[in-house]
């Protein structure tokens, strides 16, 4: 065989190999897409089961350092787990007890608040009223034109009391499962890591699995504990601002601000809007009513731009686009609780991706702005 024929044969083999590799890559991407769609569907339809499980695991990751700290001082994990869970449960029940009165008062005043807001915004409602009246007239014409013997079917919706009772029962069930599972997870100590080592075949797999588990625990625990402290300080600052401006129930506003701040971006906007509405009906002067939401916004900007980046550090900096997409996705899947859990889950996904070469690009996308050369990443 001549040299040109051999060269042509080699080129053909290279082209076939490249085409095969491209087809295999397309198949992998297609299978990955199918897997992600099925996973999202599973998470959505199994949320009643998965929600307390995920909550318990995240709380266990946050509280595990406390259990190990007490274990090094001679306290057995089951005992320390029981103490920690009872403490968390006591704080949870105390918060519900002290906030039940103000929340009930606000709920009872909701019609009065709505009426006052409507009176304040009466000038803005006139164009909307014209459209609403026109729509009513169109409906009346359509109904009169329809046959008189046509029977209308009205589906009766469940009442507010039924919905509230179902929501309360579902919340209590979720809380009970979460705390019981949390107790078992904390009481087991390092059993999870021991089982993880036992089921993996090679020493390299064992080391990588332990590294991923400990890194996820460290980063998620650091994030949740730091964010909780930051949000408590943020809530205290908002409460002080509400006291200075004469807003009603400043403690309730502080607690609401701390809870809403667990949801990035959206939580601050909701809090500012709520404060603005209540200030609008609480003060006669529109100029003075602007001050409380402005102070809330100033606290949010100070916390988001200075306090949180300094305390969290560059290592846990995340891409703002990825945060927004994750919050939107988990809000759709699990509602407000999903929005709160979105960023801790994003931290866990980023740590997992950083340990696999094939997923490094995903981990890089989830990271925040790259550090300048020579910067200290642990700052």
pLDDT by residue (tens digit) across 20-43? 778 888 888 788 888 888 988 888
72 assigned to some structural domain:
yes
Compare 150 and 195 and report the one with higher pLDDT.
195
Question: 157 lies in a domain?
Answer: no
**Predicted local distance difference test score (pLDDT) of residue 129:** 57
Residue 114 included in any domain? yes
Looking at the domain assignment, is residue 63 inside a domain? Answer: yes
Is 331 part of a structural domain of the chain?
A: no
pLDDT value of residue 229? 92
Is residue 132 pLDDT above 60, yes or no? no
**Chain-wide mean pLDDT for the chain?**
78
User: What distance in Å separates the CA atoms of residue 238 and residue 255, rounded to the nearest whole number?
Assistant: 9
Q: Is the pLDDT of residue 251 over 70?
A: yes
**pLDDT band for position 109 (cuts 50, 70, 90):** low
* Residue range(s) defining the domain that contains residue 90: 46-121+169-188
Banded pLDDT at 254 (limits 50, 70, 90): very high
Residue 173 CA: distances (Å) to CA of 84, 103, 177, 243:
20, 21, 6, 36
Torsion, Cα of 7, 13, 16, 17 (10° steps): -120
Asked, for residue 75, whether it belongs to a domain, the answer is yes
59-75 pLDDT per residue, tens: 888 888 888 888 888 88
Mean pLDDT, range 117-141, rounded to an integer: 58
**For the chain, how many structural domains are there in total?**
1
For the cut 50, the answer to whether the pLDDT of residue 347 exceeds it is yes
Q: Is residue 239 part of a domain?
A: no
Separation in Å, CA 101 to CA 91, 113, 251, 282: 17, 17, 12, 20
Mean pLDDT of 137-164: 52
Evaluate whether residue 217 is within a structural domain.
no
């Amino acid at each position: 065989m001549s040299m040109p024929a051999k060269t042509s044969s080699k080129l053909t083999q290279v082209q076939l190999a490249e085409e095969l590799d491209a087809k295999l890559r397309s198949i992998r991407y297609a299978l990955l897409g199918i897997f992600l769609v099925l996973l999202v569907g599973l998470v959505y339809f199994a949320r009643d089961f998965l929600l307390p499980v995920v909550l318990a695991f995240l709380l266990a990751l946050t509280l595990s350092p406390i259990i190990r700290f007490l274990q090094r001082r001679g306290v057995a994990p089951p005992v320390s787990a029981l103490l920690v869970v009872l403490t968390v449960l006591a704080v949870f029940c105390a918060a519900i007890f002290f906030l039940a009165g103000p929340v009930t008062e606000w709920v009872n005043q909701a019609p009065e608040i709505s009426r006052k807001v409507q009176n304040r915004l009466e000038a803005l409602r006139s164009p909307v009223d014209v459209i609403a009246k026109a729509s009513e007239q169109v409906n009346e014409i359509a109904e009169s034109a329809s046959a008189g013997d046509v029977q209308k079917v009205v589906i009766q919706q469940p009442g507010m009391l039924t919905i509230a009772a179902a929501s309360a029962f579902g919340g209590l069930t979720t809380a009970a499962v979460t705390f019981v599972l949390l107790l078992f997870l904390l009481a087991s100590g390092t059993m999870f890591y021991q089982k993880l080592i036992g089921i993996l075949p090679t020493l390299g797999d064992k080391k990588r699995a332990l590294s991923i588990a400990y890194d996820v625990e460290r980063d998620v625990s650091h994030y949740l504990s730091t964010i909780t402290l930051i949000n408590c300080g943020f809530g205290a600052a908002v409460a002080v601002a509400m006291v200075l401006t004469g807003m009603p129930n400043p403690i309730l506003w502080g607690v609401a601000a701390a809870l809403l701040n667990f949801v990035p971006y959206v939580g601050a906007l909701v809090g500012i809007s709520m404060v603005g509405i209540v200030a609008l009906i609480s003060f006669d002067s529109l100029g003075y009513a602007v001050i409380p939401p402005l102070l809330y916004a100033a606290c949010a900007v100070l916390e988001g731009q200075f306090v949180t980046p300094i305390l969290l550090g560059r290592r846990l900096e995340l891409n703002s686009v990825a945060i927004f997409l994750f919050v939107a996705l988990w809000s759709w899947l699990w509602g407000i609780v999903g929005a709160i859990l979105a960023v801790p889950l994003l931290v866990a996904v980023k740590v997992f991706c950083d340990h696999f070469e094939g997923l490094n690009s995903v981990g890089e996308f989830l990271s925040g702005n790259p550090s300048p050369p020579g910067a200290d990443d642990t700052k």
